[in-house]
Amino acid sequence: MQSSVPHDHDALLDVGAVVDARYRIERLLGEGGMGAVYRAVHVGLGRTVALKVLKPEWLGFGEVVRRFRQEARAASAIGHPNIIELLDTGSLADGRPYIAMEYLDGRTLYDELVHNGAMSTPRACRIGAAIAHALAATHAIGIVHRDLKAENVILVPGNDGEIVKVLDFGVSADLGDAGPRMTRPGLAVGTPIYMAPEQALAAPPTPGFDIYALGVVLFEMLSGQPPIDGTTAVEILQRKATAAPSLATLCPDLPTALIELVDRCLAIAPEQRPSDAAEIARVLERVNAEPTLPLGVPAPAVARRRVGAWIVGGGVVAGVLAAALAWSLRPPADPTPTAPPVLTPAADAPPAPRPQATPPLAPPAELDTPKPVETPTPIEPTPAVVDDAAPASTRDTKPKPRTTERPTTATAPTPTPASTPAEAPAHASTACERERREAEDARLAADWRGMLRHTERAECWSSKSARQKLRVKASLELGRYGDCIAFGRELTDPTAMSWVRQCELRNSREQPSP
């Protein structure tokens, strides 16, 4: 795991610092809006842990501090092998709370999907069943996760196979808690892509929230893309007023029982979803046990814009969704089927397009003899990138016919003085050809700094968009999101635009929280 660039150096702990006389900081693993996570080691036991520390600017917000501590209580109360193990809690000298968790040397399910696309059916069923078991244990003690998503699932290689862990119970809700709400009435907590329609309206939490979210995760694993997506939270939640597309529209060859399960999980009405997470686990395990289960063909890695975890103001979202959702959830007046309501966004948002897989990146047009080689995976891949190696079948290597015919005359041409030949364009020079070859070699070697270096000379490229596309890719990989956005401002290529959207999202996530 790679650390993100900190915004407030004073708020971060120094490498070598000892927290609460127990944990020595080794390195920063990541940073979010509320806290930072470090790799640390217990000075007495020598055990490596992940140490999550609240940011100092949140100390004055009692609700945030309570939610932070709630994560430790919720996860430790469940005690399930598919839920991250919480080891310890405490406070820094300045009062900031921390949580010590087991250190997991793996990658998130989101990173796995972005890098490798849709999974084989057996693997998706195994991972989905593990998540369902974790949710069943969570619901059994009266807790709703409320923010289940691909980013909150860790996949860890193990001797006996892949280990699946659900984490981040920071916004979980206790169904039996009659005390003060941890979020104000009228506020919806969660991540829009995964939020159930009723969750977006700030309805009281129920296990149906998590069942819907698991349906989204299953849809992503099997198809490579979410069932409903958009560029803003409001746009996504508006689209949830109508039924999600059936998984069969993208994966018609999957087992019928599996398609029906995912479609039921994504039902608008909570009562139409599976009764509990244990039922989901049973169906997935039964499907996975079928001897004729198709392996499925993983889809290409899909670049997906993430609208991050939100505490959505009910006055904004509910005002847009309430009428449509009320219509959708009401019992039918008569058995005659009617068309679903058409929602007209106040901001005239475009209609929801059917998600399409992002096409692979073709090599720069200026390379005379592109080689059909696959892009090697970097040793430490940066999250949220797409495979940019184009299969040989998609490359047009047939040279354009060159006109060589010259007019002939009956008599020999009259000799004329030798004229100065027209100056060749700069991009045709030997030096520029070498720069383009070096840029392509850098791309194939995942040498992103080298790729930026060899694309600096604009005059070496006859196609401005081909050059800018390479610079967008390199900037994304290097975490230079501002440069990535600037380089891609005028591009219309779908793949490049998807990278720019990733940079915009990551850039916004790195901005200080209000």
Give the residue numbers marked as catalytic.
147
For 147, residues 6+ apart whose C-beta sits below 8 A from its C-beta are 168, 170, 171, 172, 189, 190, 191, 194, 213, 309
Burial letters for 247-280: b for 16+ Cβ neighbours within 10 Å, e otherwise? Answer: beebbeebbeebbebbbbbbbbebeebbebbbbb
8 A C-beta contact, residue 307 and residue 508: no
Per-residue CA distances from 239 to 192, 243, 244 (Å) = 11, 8, 8
Beta bridge partners of 83: 166
8 A C-beta contact, residue 358 and residue 498: yes
Distance in angstroms (rounded) separating the CA atoms of residues 29 and 51? 9
Distance in angstroms (rounded) separating the CA atoms of residues 385 and 502? 8
- Give which of 357, 364, 358, 369 is closest to 470, Cα–Cα: 364
Beta bridge partners of 377: none
For 269, list phi and psi in degrees, rounded to 5. Answer: -80, 125
- Give which of 464, 481, 395, 474 is closest to 442, Cα–Cα: 474
Distance in angstroms (rounded) separating the CA atoms of residues 498 and 341? 30
8 A C-beta contact, residue 302 and residue 221: no
Question: What counts of helices (H) and strands (E) characterise the chain?
Answer: 14, 13
Kindly tell me the sign of the dihedral angle through the C-alpha atoms of 332, 333, 335, 336.
negative
Give the DSSP letter of residue 228. Answer: S
